[in-house]
Amino acid sequence: MLGLPDGTQACLFDLDGVLTQTAKVHAKAWKQMFDEFLQARAKETGEPFVPFDEHADYDEHVDGLPRADGVRNFLASRGITLPEGADDDSPDATTVHGLGNRKNQLVLAIIDRDGVQVYDGSVAYVRAARDAGLRCAVVSSSANARDVLQAAGILDLFDHVVDGHTTQEQGLKGKPAPDTFLAGARAVGVEPARAAVYEDALAGVQAGHAGRFGRVIGVDRAGQADALREHGADVVVEDLSELLDTDGAA
């Protein structure tokens, strides 16, 4: 009674925007970081300052992607190219990794100040999935995924966590490539066709579709149900609690 096809053995959950309300935190941090960068650039070049849109720009260019990819994607949308830099660049460095580290610094400060809120419907769904004997994993591009899960008090609900560190260590491509979800399926010992993917980001549902998972469930937190379907979601809900009384045999 989880809205899943018969034979499903595992559930692979994105973190931000699916399990926790940290997508809002990330959008806020991206906006602050990029606006500060764009304002400084406008003063230097005389170009007009066009702020980062935490809805359109966030959804289109950075949501669900590894941090450096998000920086590159947004800058490319503005015709801006920066040096790559290195993973350990200072948050003040005007490089791809420097901007990414500045964004991460802002996220951690907000989480430290405000804590982490979960989506109660999602937590209830995860508990129901575990009670039904399904294996559960988190698949996130965030390097802070374990810390966020720990702060939210739900780390113990998951058998495995694929995060930004896993991506780097295993040389995986980030979403929309299916690599991280495929790694999650391997980690819990299940074939992709026997696993369900839960995503709120367009790049995430695209990754689930590309990986040929048994079901890709789009979680619409931002009024983009049609876009989630267009990118590969088999089912779209506003909250996972909607699936708790659904017979998903297909």
Strand partners, 138: 13, 161
Of these residues, 16, 57, 69, 200, which one is catalytic?
16
Residues 13 and 19 sit within 8 Å (Cβ to Cβ): yes
> Which tokens belong to 124?
């209830």
CA 27, 28, 30 angle in degrees (round to 5)?
Answer: 65
Residues in CB range of 184: below 8 A, 6 or more apart: 12, 137, 138, 139, 160, 162, 195
Catalytic site includes residue 14: yes
Go through the chain and tell me how many residues it has: 250
Radius of gyration of the chain (CA): 18
Give the integer Cα–Cα distance in Å for 96 and 150.
29
Of these residues, 6, 14, 35, 69, which one is catalytic?
14
Residues 205 and 197 sit within 8 Å (Cβ to Cβ): yes
Question: H helices of the chain, where?
Answer: 22-45, 56-57, 67-77, 96-114, 120-131, 145-152, 164-170, 179-187, 202-210, 225-230
User: Hey, which residues are catalytic here?
Assistant: 14, 16
